[in-house]
Amino acid sequence: MFESKSGILLVGGLGFFLFAFLSNAVVPILLYQDMPEQTVEELASNNQNLLYMFEDLSRRYPDQFEKYYGEANPESLAKALTIGRKVYTGEGCWHCHSQFIRPVSNESERWGKVASSDEYQNELQRPVLWGTRRVGPDLSREGGRRGNDWHAVHFYDPQMLSPTSPMPKYRWFYDDNSPDKPNERGLAMITYVQWLGSWLEQYPDYENYTPLEEQMRNPLE
Ligand code: HEC
Residue ID of nearest Cα to ligand 1 atom 27: 137
CA–CA distance, 95 with 133 (Å, rounded to integer): 6
Predicted local distance difference test score (pLDDT) of residue 206: 47
| Mutation to probe ligand 1, out of 86, 87, 97 (largest number of atoms < 8 A from CB) | 97
Q: Is the CB of residue 117 less than 8 Å from the CB of residue 167?
A: no
Predicted local distance difference test score (pLDDT) of residue 3: 81
CA–CA distance, 83 with 76 (Å, rounded to integer): 11
Predicted local distance difference test score (pLDDT) of residue 197: 92
Predicted local distance difference test score (pLDDT) of residue 216: 57
Residue ID of nearest Cα to ligand 1 atom 21: 136
Predicted local distance difference test score (pLDDT) of residue 28: 85
Burial of 196 per CB tally in 10 Å (0-12, 13-18, 19+)? buried
CA–CA distance, 146 with 205 (Å, rounded to integer): 9
pLDDT tens-digit profile, the chain (221 residues): 668 899 999 999 999 999 999 999 999 889 888 888 899 999 999 888 888 899 999 999 999 999 999 999 999 999 999 999 999 999 999 999 999 999 999 998 888 889 998 899 899 999 999 998 999 999 999 998 899 999 999 999 999 999 999 999 999 999 999 999 999 999 999 999 999 999 887 654 445 555 555 655 655 54
Which residues does a 6 A CB cutoff place in the pocket of ligand 1? 88, 91-93, 95-97, 135-137, 139, 142, 145-146, 158, 162, 165-168, 170, 189, 193
Q: Which atom of ligand 1 is nearest to the CA of 151?
A: 29
Predicted local distance difference test score (pLDDT) of residue 215: 57
